[in-house]
Amino acid sequence: MEFLATKAAEETSSVAAMTSGRRRATLAIDIRDDAVEGVAEAVTSLTTRVEVPRVDWAALFVDDLQWYAVDEIPHLQ
């Protein structure tokens, strides 16, 4: 499932970057099914119903899905 989610995020991120010129990020977290809901008119995007503490974040993918460990986030510009 993680691989499929990453591939879907890659496609969405690539299209968004080409059309808007803005950086895109995908945050990978483990969360209960009942704590998320779909985003209107989005195929692969979800929003959380609960706050997810930073300690529960798994990884961050930026732009062309370059992988960053969570502790590297402060160094991104």
pLDDT tens sequence across 31-45 = 888 998 988 877 667
**Number of compact structural domains in the chain:** 1
Range of the domain at 47: 2-75
CA 31 vs CA 13, 28, 34, 51, 58: distances in Å? 22, 10, 8, 10, 11
For residue 56, the model assigns a pLDDT of: 85
Q: What is the distance between the alpha carbons of residues 73 and 68, in angstroms, rounded to a whole number?
A: 7
Both tokens of residue 17?
A: 């970057």
**pLDDT at residue 60, rounded to an integer:** 80
Which of 38-77 are b and which e, b meaning 16 or more Cβ less than 10 Å from the residue's Cβ? Answer: eeeeeeeeeeeeeeeeeeebebbbbeebeeeebeeeeeee
More reliable by pLDDT, 67 or 65: 67
